[in-house]
Each structure stands twice: as C-alpha cells, then as structure tokens.
C-alpha cells in the first residue's frame, strides 16, 4: 500500500517495526515480508519508477505487510515512524557517492545515525550490505562517531545477496561487505514530526481579476521558501485559477496547487487537495501571500482560517 503523507496520521497509526531504505525493485522487501509475516514493514524509496515496480510486485505476490512511502528516508523516519518503534533497518547497496565532493550526499552519516537512534527500539539495529569498501569503512566510522551505536562486521547473510544490485555485482565477481550498527544510546535532541496546520484558506469578496500574466514570486518564511511559479485558468464554468507552487522546508519538498475559485460562500483562496499535499508552515506562508496579493487587486477578506 502506498502512503500519501497528506492523508495519514503522523506517525503511522500502526507502527512499522522494520524499515528498508532504498528498496529498488522491492524483491528483498518481498522476501523479508514473507519471512516475517507478523512484522509491519515500511519501505522508503525516492525513485518513482522503483516504487511503481515494487508495488506491482507486492500486489502480484500477495504481500500484505508492506507499506511504501515514495520520498526521502529522513522525512519518513522523522514523520512516519514512532519514537523507539523500529527493531531493524535494512540498507542494501546504498548509492556510494564515490567522489569526495559528493560525500555529503551519503545516507549513513553521523547526523543520520543520531536521528535514527530516536526511532529505534532499545537494542534495535541497522544492517548495511554494500559492494563499496570505502563507503563501508566510512559508515562504520560515522556510526561509531555518532556515539550512539556499536558496530560489528560479520559476513553478509546469504539472503541479503539476492537484491537486484547484489545479483548484478555477483555476476561481476565483486566482494560484499556487511555491517551491523546496534543502538547503545539515544540522541537526546528532540526530533518531533514536522508540525502540520489545518488547511489554510480565506473567503474573499469582489471580482477575481482576469490574469493576463503572473510574475513568479518567491515567498520566504522561517525554515524555507515557497515559489509561486505560474497561474493557470480552470476551464470549469465557474472559472478560477490554480497557482503552481514549489515549497522547500526542512526535510520536505512539495509541489502543490493553490487555488482561487468561486464558491457558494465567496471566493475560496487556499490549498487545493490535488495530490494529497501536506499542510505545513510553507503552505500557510504561500496562502497568506496569495490572499495579500489578491487584496492588492481589490478583493476583500470576508473570513480567514489562519
């Protein structure tokens, strides 16, 4: 099942005990799901193509205990996973980012380990399997430096070597490396889920102007930026406009639609539900700007929810 963050509670109501980051085509996830039918598994993957392929696989194979989040590992960890709930995290063949100048893109860094410690149950562990010796060494050093993990390096369990990448590297005769990071302490820094706001909107009176052009606008707010990129007209009899908006805040990037459309109670200006967006501080800042801009065009606020 695919999780749409705008439509679910944070953290997930039935807590996952197992997380796989970057599951690729999902064949390992399916294998683990079959091995542990009693475990709730959360799979996180940034590639849309991989998510689609894996969901198809889970449906085809009748896998019912896996939920999938399409997005960043850190966002999922922070927002979907309850504190101290995970028993195990799998990371198989993470992107190695081999160039020194790209090292900051690596997942398994000190800061990640510290954050992870808040979501792992006592004694919980992260299992890394990789073909990249340098990343393997790097992750061990970062895990130890985090101060909240102990690290062991047993040989990789055989069933870890059946992922798509493992099979590819096996064919080329590569060597595999494995590490187990066990939680021994917890980072005391609070890391609560991203605050959410009720859908911000306003009702306005007056005539919606005919827009011949709309200038791209950058709205800065504490913790991020919202960019209103363009306006498009709705082709419904009532008319109205959609404003394509790109929002970056903390560990979340969203492309959302704001809307200004006639309703029974006046002109509704707010966030469109299209695409199950997450109503965040950035969305609120963008709506506040849009309402102010429409006031500048002669409309008046009758009621506002923020």
Ligand X SMILES: C[S@@+](CC[C@H](N)C(=O)[O-])C[C@H]1O[C@@H](n2cnc3c(N)ncnc32)[C@H](O)[C@@H]1O
Tell me which residues in 10-49 interact with ligand X (CB under 6 A).
Answer: 21-24, 44-47
For ligand X, the closer CB: 164 or 304: 164
Least separation in angstroms between CB 70 and ligand X: 9
Question: By CB under 6 A, is residue 259 in contact with ligand X?
Answer: no
Among 93-101, 195-203, 227-235, 284-292, which window interacts with ligand X (CB under 6 A)? 93-101
Q: Is 73 in the site for ligand X (CB under 6 A)?
A: yes
Q: Which is nearer to ligand X, 45 or 249 (CB)?
A: 45
Distance CA 195, CA 279 (A): 9
Q: With CB under 6 A as the rule, give the number of residues binding ligand X.
A: 20
Residues 9, 25, 95, 251: which is the catalytic one?
Answer: 95
Minimum distance of ligand X from residue 102's CB (angstroms): 12
What kind and span of H or E run contains 135?
helix 133-145
Cβ contact 183:148 at 8 Å: yes
Q: How far is CA 290 from CA 135, 235, 287, in A?
A: 46, 21, 5
Q: Per rule CB under 6 A, is residue 72 in the interface with ligand X?
A: yes
Q: What is the number of other CB atoms lying within 10 angstroms of the CB of residue 273?
A: 14
- By the rule CB under 6 A, 163 interacts with ligand X: yes
Which of 114, 123, 113, 86 lies closest to 188, judged by CA?
114
CB 273 within 8 A of CB 242: no
99-138: contacts with ligand X (CB under 6 A) = 107
Minimum Å gap between C-beta 20 and ligand X is 8
Residue closest to ligand X (Cβ): 22
Query: Is 95 near ligand X (CB under 6 A)?
Result: yes
Residue 32, Cβ neighbours under 10 Å: how many?
22
From 90-98, 117-125, 179-187, 248-256, span contacting ligand X (CB under 6 A): 90-98
Q: Among the candidate windows 92-100, 142-150, 198-206, 269-277, which touches ligand X by CB under 6 A? A: 92-100
Please give the DSSP secondary-structure letter assigned to residue 195: P
Residue 159, φ and ψ in degrees, nearest 5: -70, -10
List, in sequence order, every residue forming a beta bridge with 128; answer none if it has no partner: 91, 179
In this chain, which of 58, 93, 169, 242 binds ligand X, going by CB under 6 A?
93
Report phi then psi at 15, rounded to 5.
-65, 130
Which residue lies nearer to ligand X by CB, 132 or 201?
132
Tell the smallest beta-carbon distance from residue 255 to ligand X (Å): 18
Helix/strand/coil for 292: helix
User: 63 — alpha (psi -120 to 50), left (phi > 0) or beta?
Assistant: beta
Listed in sequence order, the residues at least 6 apart from 186 whose beta carbon sits closer than 8 Å to its beta carbon are 84, 117, 118, 148
Catalytic-residue membership of 95: yes
CB of 25 to ligand X, least distance (A): 6
Spatial separation of the C-alpha atoms in residues 200 and 216, rounded to whole Å: 21
For the bound state, the minimum distance from the C-beta of residue 271 to ligand X, rounded and expressed in Å, comes to 26
Residue 249, SS3 per DSSP:
strand
**By the criterion CB under 6 A, which residues form the site for ligand X?**
21-24, 44-47, 50, 72-73, 92-95, 107, 163-166
* Active-site residue set: 95
């Amino acid at each position: 099942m695919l999780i749409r963050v705008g439509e679910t509670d944070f953290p997930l109501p039935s807590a996952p005990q197992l997380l796989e980051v970057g599951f690729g085509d999902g064949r390992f996830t399916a294998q683990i799901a079959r091995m542990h039918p009693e475990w709730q598994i959360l799979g996180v993957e940034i590639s849309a193509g991989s998510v689609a392929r894996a969901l198809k696989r889970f449906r085809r194979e009748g896998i019912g205990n896996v939920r999938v989040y399409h997005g960043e590992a850190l966002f999922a960890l922070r927002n979907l996973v309850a504190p101290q709930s995970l028993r195990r995290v799998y990371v198989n063949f993470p992107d190695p980012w081999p160039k020194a100048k790209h090292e900051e893109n690596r997942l398994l860094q000190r800061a990640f380990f510290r954050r992870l410690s808040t979501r792992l149950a006592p004694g919980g562990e992260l299992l890394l399997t990789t073909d990249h010796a340098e990343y393997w060494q790097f992750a061990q050093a970062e895990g130890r430096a985090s101060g909240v993990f102990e690290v062991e390096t047993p040989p990789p369990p055989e069933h870890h070597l059946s992922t798509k990448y493992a099979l590819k590297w096996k064919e080329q005769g590569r060597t595999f490396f494995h590490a187990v990071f066990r939680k021994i302490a917890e980072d005391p820094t609070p890391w609560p889920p991203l605050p959410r706001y009720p859908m911000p909107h306003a009702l306005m009176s007056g005539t919606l102007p005919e827009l011949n052009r709309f200038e791209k606008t950058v709205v800065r707010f504490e913790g991020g930026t919202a960019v209103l990129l363009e306006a498009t007209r709705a082709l419904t009899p009532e008319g109205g406009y959609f404003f394509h908006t790109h929002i970056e805040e903390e560990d979340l990037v969203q492309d959302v639609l704001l809307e200004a459309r006639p309703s029974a109670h006046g002109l509704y200006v707010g966030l469109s539900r299209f695409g199950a967006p997450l109503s965040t501080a950035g969305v609120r800042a963008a709506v506040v700007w849009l309402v102010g801009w429409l006031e500048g065009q002669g409309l008046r606020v009758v009621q506002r929810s923020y």
